[in-house]
Amino acid sequence: MNVPQKLAALRAAMKTQGLDAWIVPSADPHLSEYLPEHWQARVYFSGFTGSVGTLVVTADEAGLWADSRYWEQAASQLSGSGIELQKMGEVAPYSDWLAQVLPPNATVGVAADTLSLSAKRGLESVFAAKNIRLDTAHDLSDSIWHERPDLPNGKIYVHDAAFVSETAAEKLARVRAAMAEQNAAWHLISSLDDIAWLTNLRGDDVSYNPVFLSYLLIGGQTATLFVDESKLNTEAKTALQAAAIDVAPYGDIIKAVGKISDGLLINADKTAVSTLAQLPSTVQLIENINPSTLFKSIKSDADLAHVREAMRQDGAALCGFFAEFERNLANGTAMNELDIDTMLHDHRSRRPNFVSLSFNTIAGYNANGALPHYSATPEAFSQISGNGLLLIDSGAQYLGGTTDITRVVPVGDVSDEQKRDYTLVLKAHIALAETVFPENIGSSLLDAICRKPLWQAQCEYGHGTGHGVGYFMNVHEGPQVISYHATLSPHHAMKIGMITSNEPGLYRSGKWGIRIENLVANRAVENPQETDFGKFLYFETLTLCPIDTRPIDKALMSAGEIAWLNAYHAQVREALLPLVDGEAKDWLILRTEAI
């Protein structure tokens, strides 16, 4: 079926169930950012393949709510589908839209395993004025999506002990202490990265993210991992036994929650309505961020040492890639955007402790680079030729860390306007990289420091400046986020050991896109002054790869900014020279020359 036929089938199912509207979020029972194919219903029904978006269907209208990163992509993919793009930030939220277009006493449906408890409450609050009922009892996808993929069954393995600084038993003890502080007898964890971190296990149920489908229910003396036991290898089973973690079938979590009689700690943003279906109404819900989310965001000194080595290996791989890329350009060898992903994987896979890429490589040439989350496909990609800018956002999973880096390289001649934009983004990147800030400051408050050089030039970008990054874990990790769009929360406090991206950008629709990204770690100022104003932190730049100097307009840079760039390149050269040879070494030396 094409998208209009799928919508017609969906509307027929809605009518049968007495539903006036149907919501299809980008979500699974674990409220993950990246979804197993089994839960990619929004992609199936809309044809829009971006990682985030919400489809809403009524009897005679359909809309797809997407943020600015995906507007051009969504407009193209939704063309002729009968679904109208709704630009988040410029239109009302879909909940408000439904409350406006639906009559009083209408019924809106959404699958319970794709709706968090907090989202359910938010919808019910908006719908209350018109007595619109929310129905979570049905999942219409199964009756229409006949070729729906099965649940993933990747193997689960132990994170190599050489890279683990704390045992699962020790982590559980920390979580139980946090539970006791909140008077919680039980703690339910649905978020997959929290579970992988707590158990020191890894899997491959979700592309690029080394996690596995599971739930973890922790009591004062017991802990149970709800997972398909056949996916556990022998070492994983032994490790769970050593940590006193029992194993139960994945689907038994709902019944287990139904047997709880005392206070239950959950993260309402990360717990699906379906998981709590049988929870006794007498049980007190204690709602807070998962303690493990805060714990895993703070990397130990040992973890950071492994991350630094992973960055060295990743940087060496990138030297090889860029040397090959520039040789191909010089020789006139044909290359397209798809080739970039293949070449990057080839070079990274040769490095020690490489596991996989950490996300789908973004390689956008000229106009495609203006789409922040662009993804070339075999059906739609650009050749890399002529004059312009190529944006490459890529990363890898190593046993000792997760990498995420964006570089922009010139192809042929670069215009003065492109140099101006590139230099403005570099100035913004340096502004954040040089920042010293109070410990525990809300991460979102740092955003304006980064954006100042762009704002002074009356330029802006729609995405956030920084996201947390896991340790051989998800490339996007909370709780910290550097974005003035984010609601300020106590959980966004910047702590020593956190790893965050620094990635300002500038995008000219239909022309080019520029983003420069390094990962940085929060570190205590090494020589603190005698002060009455508390502890201050700085950003240690972890990523090791030259920032191309050819598109720089040096006249726009201050002496301090030039000094920062030269010092960074000296650090990169010193760290990577022992790991490269041949043309990769020559490229490294050339691209780290001082300006």
How many whole angstroms separate alpha carbon 417 and alpha carbon 132? 52
- Among candidate residues 266, 295, 324, the one where a domain is terminated: 295
All residues at 6 or more sequence positions from 112 whose CB lies less than 8 Å from its CB, including other chains = 136, 137, 139, 272, 273, 274, 277
- Per-residue pLDDT band for 252 (boundaries 50, 70, 90) equals very high
pLDDT of residue 166: 98
CATH number of the domain that 498 lies in? 3.90.230.10
Domain count of the chain?
Answer: 3
Please report whether residue 150 resides in a domain: no
What counts of helices (H) and strands (E) characterise the chain? 17, 28
Task: Specify whether 414 is located in the same domain as 506.
Answer: yes
Is pLDDT above 90 for 532?
Answer: no
Element (H, E) at 181: helix 168-181
- Per-residue pLDDT band for 528 (boundaries 50, 70, 90) equals confident
Asked if residues 94 and 54 have their Cβ atoms less than 8 Å apart, the reply is yes
Task: Specify whether 354 is located in the same domain as 398.
Answer: yes
What is the rounded average pLDDT of the residues 402-426? 98
Please report whether residue 149 resides in a domain: no
How many whole angstroms separate alpha carbon 411 and alpha carbon 335? 12
Task: Specify whether 322 is located in the same domain as 361.
Answer: yes
How many whole angstroms separate alpha carbon 439 and alpha carbon 395? 28
Between β-strands 466-468 and 436-438, what pairing exists: parallel, antiparallel or unpaired? Answer: unpaired
Closest by CA position to 320, among listed 17, 584, 4, 80: 584
CATH number of the domain that 165 lies in? 3.40.350.10
pLDDT of residue 377: 85
pLDDT of residue 201: 98
Between β-strands 264-266 and 285-287, what pairing exists: parallel, antiparallel or unpaired? Answer: parallel
- Among candidate residues 277, 295, 313, the one where a domain is terminated: 295
Domain span holding position 181: 157-295
Task: Specify whether 288 is located in the same domain as 305.
Answer: no
What is the rounded average pLDDT of the residues 150-173? 97
Asked if residues 229 and 249 have their Cβ atoms less than 8 Å apart, the reply is yes
Please report whether residue 370 resides in a domain: yes
φ/ψ region of 285 (left if φ > 0, alpha if ψ in -120 to 50, else beta) reads beta
- What are the strands, taking DSSP E only, across 80-210? 84-87, 107-110, 133-135, 157-158, 186-189, 201-202
Name the more confident of 343 and 89.
343
pLDDT of residue 533: 86
pLDDT in tens, 188-210: 999 999 999 999 999 999 999 99
- Per-residue pLDDT band for 527 (boundaries 50, 70, 90) equals confident
Is pLDDT above 90 for 248?
Answer: yes
Mean pLDDT of all residues belonging to the chain: 96
Asked if residues 77 and 114 have their Cβ atoms less than 8 Å apart, the reply is no
What is the rounded average pLDDT of the residues 305-316? 98
What is the rounded average pLDDT of the residues 409-428? 98
What is the rounded average pLDDT of the residues 344-356? 98
- Per-residue pLDDT band for 51 (boundaries 50, 70, 90) equals confident
- Per-residue pLDDT band for 145 (boundaries 50, 70, 90) equals very high
Please report whether residue 151 resides in a domain: no
Task: Specify whether 391 is located in the same domain as 489.
Answer: yes
- Among candidate residues 144, 169, 187, the one where a domain is terminated: 144
What is the rounded average pLDDT of the residues 121-134? 97
What is the rounded average pLDDT of the residues 536-545? 98
Tokens of 277: 């279906």
Task: Specify whether 260 is located in the same domain as 237.
Answer: yes
pLDDT of residue 159: 98
pLDDT in tens, 448-460: 999 999 999 999 9
Is pLDDT above 90 for 92?
Answer: yes
Element (H, E) at 89: none
- Per-residue pLDDT band for 443 (boundaries 50, 70, 90) equals very high
pLDDT of residue 425: 98
pLDDT of residue 526: 83
Please report whether residue 324 resides in a domain: yes
Give the three-state DSSP class for 515: strand
- Per-residue pLDDT band for 349 (boundaries 50, 70, 90) equals very high
Task: Specify whether 310 is located in the same domain as 284.
Answer: no
How many whole angstroms separate alpha carbon 147 and alpha carbon 577? 51
Please report whether residue 152 resides in a domain: no
Q: Tell whether the torsion through CA atoms of 372, 373, 379 and 384 is positive or negative.
A: positive
CA-to-CA separations, 60 to 20, 25, 47, 85, 101, in angstroms, rounded: 10, 19, 18, 15, 11
Is pLDDT above 90 for 428?
Answer: yes
Please report whether residue 334 resides in a domain: yes
How many whole angstroms separate alpha carbon 160 and alpha carbon 155? 15
Determine what percent of the chain is predicted with pLDDT higher than 70.
Answer: 100
- Residue 593, judged by CB atoms within 10 A of its CB (0-12, 13-18, 19+), counts as exposed
Task: Specify whether 490 is located in the same domain as 582.
Answer: yes
Asked if residues 281 and 178 have their Cβ atoms less than 8 Å apart, the reply is no
pLDDT in tens, 466-516: 999 999 999 999 999 999 999 888 999 999 999 999 999 999 999 999 999
Task: Specify whether 426 is located in the same domain as 556.
Answer: yes
Task: Specify whether 249 is located in the same domain as 320.
Answer: no
Q: Counting every residue, how long is the chain?
A: 595
pLDDT of residue 136: 96
Task: Specify whether 68 is located in the same domain as 181.
Answer: no
pLDDT of residue 465: 98
Task: Specify whether 480 is located in the same domain as 587.
Answer: yes
What is the rounded average pLDDT of the residues 380-393? 95
